[in-house]
A and B are shown apart, each in its own frame.
Chain A
Amino acid sequence: MPAYLDAASAAPLHPVARQALIAALEDGWADPGRLYGAGRRAQLLLDPARESVAECIGARPDEVSFTANGTQALSAAALGTLAANRRHGDTFVHTAVEHSALLHAAELHPGPVVSVGVDTLGRVDVAAFVAAARAGAAAAAVQAANHEVGTTQPVGEIAAAVPDVPLIVDATQTLGHSALPAHWSVLACDARTWGGPPGVGALCVRTGTRWRSPYPADDREGGRVPGTPNVPAIVAAAAALRAACADQAAEAARLSKLVDQIRTTVAATVPDVEVLGDPVDRLPHIVTFSCLYVDGEALLTALDRRGFAVSSGSSCTSSTLQPSHVLVAMGALTSGNVRVSLHHATTQAEIDEFLRVLPDAVADVRAEIGAP
């Protein structure tokens, strides 16, 4: 029984998203900025999609701008907030485990950048973060929960301690799966993670937050994201998010139980393994472990051969041959790393089968390199 277990990279399209996409391709292909019938029909699809996404996020519709993906949303969140808030300070403070898209945006910040460390579970050092944010920060970034190990971050505690510093929250992986933090200034998310189609992200800027477009601006998406929006994909993304949020409590309970099963079983059946991240205060659908004396790429291939799609933060699986900065920041083993992330279509039988084949797959790749 093959299974796709890499929802954190891209969840399979939710059935309601498929229906919405097909319908919206019929009626929403035109430029929603135009005043003729086809343009107005596209706008009539785009407006309720925005309202629906805003409601799921807990935002006003005019605070939500659609982007081409989560990476673009996160880049714009960071660069736009930093550009507009230099009068408060010049420093960009972020946790060491933010998504690489955020870190790449930080590389473009002309001022100082402070990366605040995390503990072995991947949770940021709040005291250090608050101290850095109070020492003249233009903006600070904390993800709602980590995309590799699932550990949630104390966003509320940080927001309460530094209410005057614009707070960028990466809600990718959290939105549609778990409750969002109540406080944020600018938020970014990606429809692929909740069962929407590829090619849709959202940038949300709270009313009153200073933000300036890092792009050549036009009149699209509230002046925040230039270019014609992909209306059919946005409509499908909104439908998928609505479905995900409606089922959120039940799905979180179901998937969290499967993650508990993976955490317990992997630790018991795979020798020399470390199951990473917070076992309790975490996302319901993401779990990561690292195996000693295992080549991560070889393990992915061995699991793929057995029909299981998972991802890895091991250096040999990255194009740059660098290990995951998240695992390094936690002081975790980076070799033999596997991230399993679940979604609406994941079944108990799939997880049972994955856990049945995993010990042999690990043993096989260890044998190949002569590991003890």
Chain B
Amino acid sequence: MRLDCRGRRCPLPILDLAKHIGDVAVGETITVEADDPAAGPDILAWCRMRGHAYAGASRAADGTPAYTVRRLH
């Protein structure tokens, strides 16, 4: 599953992530495409605080940073 958070400023990308983590099954991943400079560090911190796994950063087709999270519970 991919979330389009382009143009959404901090803390909206992690709020979107929190609202949609339940949409994927435990063990599955969700990828947040976000251009806010705080999204990367905040998604990492969110995973730590919420007990999910950060599965790394990549780029969407248009070059937007994308952060992948694996639901653990």
Q: Name the residue on B nearest A320 (C-beta).
A: B37
A103 CB to closest chain B CB (Å) equals 16
User: What chain A residues lie within 8 Å of B11 (beta carbons)?
Assistant: 292-295, 335-336, 369, 371
Residue A311, interface by CB 8 Å: no
Is the Cβ of B15 less than 8 Å from the Cβ of A369?
A: yes
What separation, in Å, do the CA atoms of A206 and B19 have in the docked complex?
Answer: 56
What separation, in Å, do the CA atoms of A321 and B18 have in the docked complex?
Answer: 22
9 A-B pairs within 8 Å (CB atoms) are namely A290-B45, A292-B11, A292-B46, A296-B10, A331-B44, A335-B42, A369-B15, A371-B15, A372-B18
User: What chain B residues lie within 8 Å of A294 (beta carbons)?
Assistant: 11
B53 CB to closest chain A CB (Å) equals 15
Is the Cβ of A334 less than 8 Å from the Cβ of B15?
A: no
What separation, in Å, do the CA atoms of A342 and B54 have in the docked complex?
Answer: 36
Known contacts A322-B37, A327-B41, A333-B42; decide if A315 and B49 are in contact (CB<8 Å). Answer: no
What separation, in Å, do the CA atoms of A314 and B36 have in the docked complex?
Answer: 12
What separation, in Å, do the CA atoms of A295 and B15 have in the docked complex?
Answer: 11
Which residues in window 35-71 of B have CB below 8 A to A? 36-38, 41-42, 44-46, 48-49
Residue B1, interface by CB 8 Å: no
A325 CB to closest chain B CB (Å) equals 10
Number of interface residues of B (CB under 8 A): 18
Which residues in window 20-44 of B have CB below 8 A to A? 36-38, 41-42, 44
User: What chain B residues lie within 8 Å of A316 (beta carbons)?
Assistant: 9-10, 38
Is the Cβ of A315 less than 8 Å from the Cβ of B44?
A: no
Residue A323, interface by CB 8 Å: yes
User: What chain A residues lie within 8 Å of B37 (beta carbons)?
Assistant: 315, 321-323
Residue B72, interface by CB 8 Å: no
User: What chain B residues lie within 8 Å of A336 (beta carbons)?
Assistant: 11
A372 CB to closest chain B CB (Å) equals 6
Interface string of A343-372 (1 = CB under 8 A from B): 000000000000000000000000001111
Is the Cβ of B49 less than 8 Å from the Cβ of A292?
A: yes
B22 CB to closest chain A CB (Å) equals 11
Q: Name the residue on B nearest A120 (C-beta).
A: B48
Residue B14, interface by CB 8 Å: yes
Which residues in window 217-276 of A have CB below 8 A to B? 272, 274
User: What chain A residues lie within 8 Å of B14 (beta carbons)?
Assistant: 292-293, 335
Q: Name the residue on A nearest B11 (C-beta).
A: A335
Q: Name the residue on B nearest A333 (C-beta).
A: B45
Name, among A274, A328, A335, the residue most crowded by chain B CB atoms within 10 Å (CB to CB).
A335
A177 CB to closest chain B CB (Å) equals 29
In the A-B complex, list the 4 residue pairs whose CB atoms are closest, starting with the nearest.
A335-B11, A333-B45, A315-B38, A323-B38
Is the Cβ of A334 less than 8 Å from the Cβ of B9?
A: no
Which residues in window 277-317 of A have CB below 8 A to B? 290, 292-296, 314-316
What separation, in Å, do the CA atoms of A331 and B37 have in the docked complex?
Answer: 14
Known: A321-B36, A322-B37, A331-B44. 17 other contacts (CB 8 A): A292-B49, A293-B11, A293-B18, A314-B10, A315-B9, A315-B36, A315-B38, A321-B37, A323-B42, A331-B48, A333-B42, A333-B49, A334-B38, A334-B41, A335-B11, A335-B38, A369-B11
Known contacts A315-B10, A316-B10; decide if A332 and B15 are in contact (CB<8 Å). Answer: no
B42 CB to closest chain A CB (Å) equals 5
Is the Cβ of A328 less than 8 Å from the Cβ of B41?
A: yes
Is the Cβ of B36 less than 8 Å from the Cβ of A334?
A: no
B20 CB to closest chain A CB (Å) equals 12
User: What chain B residues lie within 8 Å of A292 (beta carbons)?
Assistant: 11, 14, 46, 49
